[in-house]
Every structure is written in C-alpha cells, then in structure tokens.
Amino acid sequence: MTQHTFTPDSKLPALGTTIFSQMSALAQEYQAINLSQGFPDFDGPEYLQQQLAWHVSQGANQYAPMTGVQPLREAIAEKTQRCYGYTPDVNTDITVTAGATEALFAAITALVRPGDEVICFDPSYDSYAPAVALSGGVLKRIALQPPAFRPDWQAFSELLSDKTRLVILNTPHNPTATVWQAADFDALWQAIGQQETYVLSDEVYEHICFAEGGHFSILQHPQLRERGIAVSSFGKTYHMTGWKVGYCVAPAAISAEIRKVHQYLTFAVNTPAQLALADMLRKEPEHYLDLPAFYRQRRDFLINALQESRFRVLPCEGTYFLLLDYSAISDLDDVSFCQWLTKEVGVAAIPLSVFCDGEFPHKLIRLCFAKQEPTLQAAAERLCRI
Ligand code: PMP
Ligand code: GLN
C-alpha cells in the first residue's frame, strides 16, 4: 500500500526552533555554562512550593475558572493598586494565562486583523512577530540604537498610519536592559491619541528594575491604560519560569476579546499553581520590593568579575540580562560568535540579531545573570581569558 505523507505549506516558513532552545541545547551538548536562555539557577520561595503541594493534596486538581481563580484575580487587583495606584476590575479586567507568552499571543490574535499594521521596537522579544504573522498583520519594526536604545519618536510617527492597530512595547526591556520613563508613554500617547490604536505593554520584568525612577507601567498612564494591555509573569517575580503562570490586565471590552482567544487556546491555567500564587501574594505582598536589590547584587557581581575582560559592558537598568560588546575580540557575526563561545570557551550567550528581522549591525551578545555567584564567577573567568 502506498504511504501518503504530506508536508504542509508552512504558515511560518522562515521560522525555526527558538534561539533559547537552540542555545540551551548547545550549552548542554558542550557542557558550557548556560547564560543564554533566561532562567534562574535557584529556586523560588519555599512557601510557594509548600502551598502548591498543599492545594494538590486538598483536591484542587480540576479545571480552574476560565479567567483565573477568584483569589488570584483579587490578589492581582490589590497588587496592581499597591504598585500602580490603579484598581482593575477583578471580574472583567484580569485574565490569568499560561505564562506571559499566552497573554501576548491571545492579545495579538484578538486585536490584529488581516492587513492591520503593528509597530514594535527592535530588538524585540521573539514571540511577537510570529503571532502578528499568524493573524495576517504586517509588522513594522523600529530599530533602537545602542548604547541607549531610546525610542525614536520621529521614526515612530513616520511608521504610524491609519492602519496601525497595535503598538507592542516591553519595559524593562529584554534584551537591551533599558527602561521606559513616563515621558516615553506621554510621547506614545501624543502620537496615537487621536486614532484607534491599542498598546500591548510587556512588563514581565516589572519588579526587576534598577532605574532611578523605577518601573513605569502603562497602568499608571490614565489615557493609555484605556486602550492598553499590561502583561506580567509570575515566572520572573518568583524565580519559577517553569510554572508558566502569567496574566494580563486590560479594560473590560479588550479583555472580553482576549478571553475569546484564551478560552480556546488553553481554556484555563493549572489550578493548584494559581491558588498557591494567591496565597503567596497575600502572605508576602511586598516580596517584590526585595527583587531590585537581589538582582542588582548579581548584576554588579558579574560586571565586576568581567572588569579584566576585553568585552565592553553596556548599561543595565532592568531585567536579568546584561549586554556585552565583543567588537574588540572578534569579527564574527553574533550568531557565529555565540556558537564559538559555547563550543570553545564554554559559556553560552544569546546573539542580539535574533531579536531583529535580518541584519543587526552591532557586535552584541546577551548574558543572563539570574545565577548563583559561583556560576557567574566561573563564567566570568572563562570570558576574561579571551
Ligand atoms: N516577554 C518577555 C520580554 C520575556 O523575556 C519573556 C520570558 N522570558 C516572556 C515574555 C514570556 O514569559 P513567560 O515565561 O511567563 O511566558
Ligand atoms: N524569555 C526567556 C529569554 O529571553 C526565554 C523564554 C523561552 O525559552 N521561550 O531568555
């Protein structure tokens, strides 16, 4: 009998496996110290783990409500009030998602129609573009220039059109470690205020911010939050990226559309983890206040340990990523350099060009410093030898 196999005409022909999976696999193959994919090599709060086990033992093992369990949505509303002086409606404005990744995908899918234009700032997180493409949208990319990586509002207004349905921003920013100020949000509002353009604000590193003015959320901007979706991730805040629980906050009418996608993408997020997170938020509502000092110490440790190296370290105002310029060391393009670094030096990093479409004319790599000091020390020693 003839076997009929098909190769589907790809909806995402240019896309391969993500750089994070690729570099983590390469790091494992070559036994390199993995500072590529962003995840901590230490555990989150013990209480959170205990509560997860407890809720499982108490039978919280069936579907959660589609929008998230009530105590977690309540705790998120309280947290949002405490941090940003704004209380979203517990029932209509908060949706718990399978990590920030799902919130981003659901929001983009819900808002972007075929032919709509979407503006993002490059380098940009790798999940935005495929979601826009699958929705039939057209992505317009604005290149941020090192070392400051500030948005260029002139370039923005040139890209803006009456077809611009969505703007995607990310602060604190992965991978450039820069932070938007209130003035940036004002500039965005000035540009889009007169038209129906929505704003997706990826704020997963909201609590890992070292900038003097702190993190500014879209939820603090009275006009933009009326058309904004703020996305957050418990994975970053509680050092457990593998739990994949995040959420988005948006006005009721926008949330309603996001929920239409969410209910058929995942329907609901795992119940015991949501209940454990609700307990954690209630028991230690101010946990996040320790995060800047906690991560600043790791950032400064790594910067200090790299002092004798030939890398040039770029400023880092937020996230747990540090950018290094390697132009004094090698002429290789950044992807080749990261492969060489993993195989020959034993340190895995992320090339920045993968966050841009095509050419990225700078010699920059990203290191993750959410690691214990001995890990950072060992990596820095290797990096200082080249
Ligand atoms: N946005 C950015 C900027 C990220 O760095 C990440 C993950 N590192 C995500 C979204 C996805 O978060 P999650 O793991 O909660 O899906
Ligand atoms: N967001 C993480 C990073 O930037 C990786 C997440 C993933 O592997 N998809 O490294």
**DSSP string for 189-255:** HHHHTTS--EEEEE-TTTT-B-STT----GGG-TTGGGGEEEEEEHHHHTT-GGG--EEEE--HHHH
**Which band of pLDDT confidence, cut at 50, 70 and 90, is reported for residue 357?**
confident
Whether this prediction's pTM lies above 0.95 is answered by yes
Query: 63 in helix, strand or coil?
Result: coil
Distance CA 276, CA 60 (A): 10
Return the pLDDT at 360: 85
Distance CA 333, CA 364 (A): 9
Ligand closest to 124 (CA) is 1
Taking only the tens place, the pLDDT of each residue in 248-298 is 999 999 999 999 999 999 999 999 999 999 999 999 999 999 999 999 999
Which residue has a Cα nearest atom 2 of ligand 2?
38
Which residue has a Cα nearest atom 7 of ligand 2?
20
Distance (Å) from CA 246 to ligand 1 centroid: 9
> What integer is the mean pLDDT of 81-105?
98
pLDDT of 88 > 90? The answer is yes
Tell me which residue of 373, 368, 318, 316 sits closest to 338, measured CA to CA.
Answer: 368
Return the pLDDT at 103: 98
Distance CA 134, CA 199 (A): 19
Distance (Å) from CA 20 to ligand 2 centroid: 6
Distance (Å) from CA 58 to ligand 1 centroid: 30
Return the pLDDT at 114: 98
pLDDT of 2 > 90? The answer is no
Entry field: residues in the chain: 386
Return the pLDDT at 361: 87
Return the pLDDT at 16: 87
Residue in the block written with tokens 């901590």: 40
> Looking at 237-332, which runs of residues are DSSP E strands?
246-249, 312-313, 321-325
Tell me which residue of 334, 361, 362, 363 sits closest to 350, measured CA to CA.
Answer: 334
Distance (Å) from CA 320 to ligand 2 centroid: 11
Closest ligand 1 atom to residue 241 Cα is 14
Q: Is the shortest distance between the CB of 20 and ligand 2 below 6 Å?
A: yes
Return the pLDDT at 1: 59
Tell me which residue of 245, 252, 264 sits closest to 69, measured CA to CA.
Answer: 245
Q: Please report the domains of the chain, with CATH numbers, ordered by start residue.
A: 19-44+286-384 (3.90.1150.10), 46-283 (3.40.640.10)
> What integer is the mean pLDDT of 58-80?
98
Q: Is the shortest distance between the CB of 233 and ligand 1 below 6 Å?
A: yes
Distance (Å) from CA 330 to ligand 1 centroid: 30
Q: What are the C-alpha distances in Å from 95 to residues 167, 172, 181, 231, 342? A: 20, 22, 26, 10, 39
Mean residue pLDDT of the chain comes to 96
Query: 68 in helix, strand or coil?
Result: coil
Residue in the block written with tokens 């949208």: 137
Distance CA 347, CA 350 (A): 10
Taking only the tens place, the pLDDT of each residue in 185-202 is 999 999 999 999 999 999
Distance CA 63, CA 317 (A): 39
pLDDT of 355 > 70? The answer is yes
| Helical spans, DSSP H, in 144-224 | 153-159, 182-192
> What integer is the mean pLDDT of 353-368?
90
Instruction: Kindly state the percentage of the chain with pLDDT values over 70.
Output: 99
Q: Which two tokens stand for residue 29?
A: 């193959």
Taking only the tens place, the pLDDT of each residue in 320-340 is 999 999 999 999 999 999 999
